[in-house]
Amino acid sequence: MTRTAISGTGLFVPADMISNEELVDSFNEFARRHNAAHAREIASGTLQPILKSSDEFIVKASGIRRRHVVSRNGMLDPEVMSPCIPERPNDAQSLMAEIALAAARGALEAAQRTPADIDGVIVAASVTQRFYPQIAIEVQAALGIKGFAFDLLAACSSATFGIQIGADAIQQGHARAVLAINPEICTSHLNLRDRETHFIFGDAATACVLEPARGADGENTWEIVSTRLESQFSNNIRNNFGPLNRFDPKTAGTPDKLITQKGRKVFKEVVPMVSNFMLDHLAANEIDPSNLKRLWLHQANINMNNLIARKVLGREPSPAEAPNILEEYGNTSSAGAIIAFHSFSQDLRPGDLGHLCSFGAGYTAGSVILQKRG
């Protein structure tokens, strides 16, 4: 069977950035206005007041200090509390394709490949800007790539799902090489009026070039030892937005059309699910966790990441063994693990083993065991 490699990665980060302090000031002003407007109901006990947020609360809960966003406009306005993104005409490039292309071009350059070398494009993300024509086909056309393209939605595991599907296509001879891209506009489904989630997401796009390992010659090439996917149904992270919403005007704008989650339940259920999933995958490949030089985990929150890393390694990991990028980027859904890999993989040596794992709503989980090539 053809062994596949990640021969290059790319990262696009929006120029706009929002600090915790800015986000907290906006949220607390919203909370003040809401509580003042509903003072009578709050006094009578029929309505709970909205509690203030703080930088200390956000850092302790998540490890996040700032996040990059595609548009600051509107996000910090207590009367708006959402990104204001002008709609583009049909003959203009979509925003999602725009950031996908920026990451894709970076990955192609790192892999020392051109669009002519690629036969497939997978745009894998937690949300999509539209259902059709698919964003992947728009990206394919913009790059002048022949072959196939399609979108894939697997929540925060979309990147690893895309990697496995792309690697499978190469192994089966359906493509010489595949671009797997993760344009995550996460602020589009962020509820900035919810204290428990208002700080979570940032925006970013990542991309990987997948090709046969034997011909891969990018400067930071990693051979895929094995991939594995898993899913288990759960309502604990949910977003009910969809085309059927418009048929019931009473609920079209309710909070469940943005992300909702039961954070404590997610933590309690996902940590053992993911750590066992990773350990089982390693065991199936006869790899002792002590042989891993690095873990690139989905960047959900620092407490979850640290606990999963501890369970997999059987000890407290060093920051270098399980790098965390939450402080700078926030949770960028499926792009997070790829940002960690992109930023913290070049220093390792040929033969070193690493474990890339993502996990998220669904629940979904994707595992990619990698070995650096010389």
The backbone torsions φ and ψ at residue 185, rounded to the nearest 5 degrees and listed phi first, read: -95, 70
CB 323 within 8 Å of CB 340: yes
CA-based end-to-end distance of the chain: 21
Q: Where are the beta strands (DSSP E) in the chain?
A: 4-12, 16-19, 66-69, 120-125, 148-153, 178-185, 203-212, 222-231, 237-238, 260-261, 292-297, 353-360, 364-372
- Backbone region of residue 173 per phi and psi (left: phi > 0; alpha: psi in -120 to 50; beta: other values): left
Q: Is cis: bond before 363, omega within 30 of 0?
A: yes
Token couple for 41: 């109901």
**CA nearest 294: which of 253, 254, 342, 260?**
342
- Answer for the pair 373, 5: CB distance below 8 angstroms, yes or no: yes
Distance CA 168, CA 155 (A): 20
DSSP string, 91-154: TSPPHHHHHHHHHHHHHHHHHT--GGG--EEEEEESS-S-SSS-HHHHHHHHHT--SEEEEEE-
The torsion angle over the Cα atoms of residues 141, 142, 146 and 150, rounded to 10 degrees, is -60
Catalytic residues: 156
d(CA 371, CA 349): 9
